Amino acid sequence: MEETRILLKLSGEALAGEKKTGFDEATVLEVAGQVKQVLDAGKQVAVVIGGGNFWRGRTSEHMDRVKADQIGILATVMNCIYVAEMFRLKGISTKIMTPFECGNMTELFRKDEAVKALEAGTVVFFAGGTGHPYFSTDMATVLMAIEIEADVILSGKAIDGVYDSDPKVNPNAKKYDKMEMQDIVDQKLGVIDLASAVLAMENHMPMKLFGLNGENSIVRAMTGEFTGTYIHA
């Protein structure tokens, strides 16, 4: 099946580059340039961004989980506002949608409006996760991909694929070229959280996981040069 409508998931950490926090502008502009190439090839692109370059609520020891997750939700809104602006500098039309009212900074998500914008060549950013605590941006990614009827999820991370163990700890860790979403669930590989993996599996939503910081990685993920892990659903 031709992959025409793509949901691109970007990890906050990957956007921070070597700094590990905040934004690395060169990295974000590089991503924007690649997305422009994908759009020029006739593809439709939606984007979800994690908040890990600002906040990781699950590692907060002394806060109520709901409040910690709410900070993480707002971090994704900040990320989308910044990255959307960098995209506009590259001549890309953008729209930011959230599942809750956010003043005049974003629009409230409506499927019909989102699809109409995608078909017109606008990159639609889905910020604010699901709007609820206890749901990761992985869940928001899968959920939005299903809602807008995307053909595939492209997940750009700080790691270049799925391994059988942590390659930072085990230098002999084996990288998978292809695998089933069921394997993610059965082996609890932690690539995406279990609830998100089950939702993707039940709705037959495939995912390509790759290292965002690899050269021309997003464009290559759309071609035969893909070197990450393809996860069948």
Answer for the pair 140, 48: CB distance below 8 angstroms, yes or no.
yes
Residue 60 has pLDDT above 80, yes or no: no
| pLDDT tens-digit map of 195-222 | 999 999 999 999 999 998 888 999 999 8
| pLDDT tens-digit map of 122-155 | 999 999 999 999 999 999 999 999 999 999 999 9
- Parse the chain into domains and list their residue ranges: 5-232
This prediction has a pTM of 0.93
Give me the CATH code for the 5-232 domain, please. 3.40.1160.10
**Of residues 132 and 17, more confidently modeled:** 132
DSSP one-letter string for the chain: ----EEEEEE-HHHHHGGGSSS--HHHHHHHHHHHHHHHHTT-EEEEEE--TTT--GGG-SSS-HHHHHHHHHHHHHHHHHHHHHHHHHTT--EEEEESS-BTBSSEE--HHHHHHHHHTTPEEEE-STTSSTT--HHHHHHHHHHHTT-SEEEEEESSSSEESS-TTT-TTPPEESEEEHHHHHHHT--SS-HHHHHHHHHTT--EEEEETTSTTHHHHHTSTT--SEEEE-
Task: Give me the residue label for tokens 């071609």.
Answer: 223
